Amino acid sequence: MTSSPEYLLAGGKAELDRLTVQARVWEPDTNRMLDEIGLQAGANCVDLGCGAIGVLASLRGKVGAQGHVVGVDLDPKLLGAAKNFLEERGIYDVELIVGDAYHTNLPDNTFDLTHVRFLFSPVGHDDQLLSEMIRLTKPGGIIVIQESDSSSWNCLPVPASWPALKNALLQAFKLGGGDFDAGHRMFGMLRKAGLEDVHIHASLIALQDQHPYMRSALQFTSSLRERILKNNILSEDELNRAYADYEQAIAKPETTVTSFTINQVWGRKPE
């Protein structure tokens, strides 16, 4: 197994809340991307590391009842949340499998579309994960990856301690074996792997009026707090002050947050 229950961002309810808000916020961009890819009704799709929602509802929305959608995740609690979320939307036919995205044991050449979002960034092992994605995809099928690029991530006006907090989060990610900027390398990775018709689309979101996703920096801080302190990236005082400054800033009506960018990349497995 490549990752484990001590997955970099494991954090109980804080992580569940973050994933839920995150999935809702990015849903229109995912739908737009699936339209651009031309995902058809009746297709067979898998979302590896789907978490509490992932893109399962969007995939099911495009492929309809004649299609089939599978979600795979290591964490049964997150899959339980995914099941509830789907049922709230009247979706009962998505297959949810507890398993390792890097070694799914699903058969070769099964899916018309294989998707991963935010798994290269926290876990990495690019070659292994991409090989598994390619193995699972039918010849002529599509491999889709959505990963982050932190350069656009900002709070405006910028609180004095935001650069230090952002840097601490990015460093803590790295020390846990992840890379918040995994989105930088996905396009080249698909090209080098020999996929055809490789495309990229960059998405970012501007948030205002205390939108709950403005809190994601705080939720990341809670998940990564011990790692930041243990590695002396910030002292406890500095971290507490940065957390409080950011929390105060996003409560103000004049504050906006610009999200990190999601690089959406996709390509076709040769026939």
Ligand X SMILES: C[S@@+](CC[C@H](N)C(=O)[O-])C[C@H]1O[C@@H](n2cnc3c(N)ncnc32)[C@H](O)[C@@H]1O
The residues binding ligand X (CB under 6 A) are: 2-3, 7, 9, 19, 22-23, 49-51, 53-54, 72-75, 78, 100-102, 117-119, 122-123
Indicate the residue whose CB is closest to ligand X: 51
Query: Residue 207 belongs to what H/E stretch?
Result: strand 206-207
Sheet holding 256-258, edge to edge: 154-156, 256-258, 206-207
DSSP state, residue 212: G
DSSP state, residue 63: H
Residue number with CB closer to ligand X (68 or 117): 117
Q: How far is the CB of 176 from ligand X (least distance, A)?
A: 12
Q: How far is the CB of 270 from ligand X (least distance, A)?
A: 26
Distance CA 155, CA 7 (A): 27
Q: How far is the CB of 131 from ligand X (least distance, A)?
A: 14
Distance CA 90, CA 61 (A): 11
Q: Are 262 and 29 in contact (CB under 8 A)?
A: yes
Q: How far is the CB of 227 from ligand X (least distance, A)?
A: 15
Residue number with CB closer to ligand X (217 or 249): 217
DSSP state, residue 32: H
Residue number with CB closer to ligand X (164 or 205): 205
Q: Are 257 and 154 in contact (CB under 8 A)?
A: yes
Q: How far is the CB of 1 from ligand X (least distance, A)?
A: 6
Distance CA 197, CA 117 (A): 20
Q: How far is the CB of 65 from ligand X (least distance, A)?
A: 23
Residue number with CB closer to ligand X (57 or 249): 57
Distance CA 52, CA 122 (A): 16
Q: Are 156 and 258 in contact (CB under 8 A)?
A: yes
Residue number with CB closer to ligand X (117 or 269): 117
Residue number with CB closer to ligand X (159 or 266): 266
**DSSP alpha helix (H) spans, 38-160:** 56-63, 76-88, 126-136
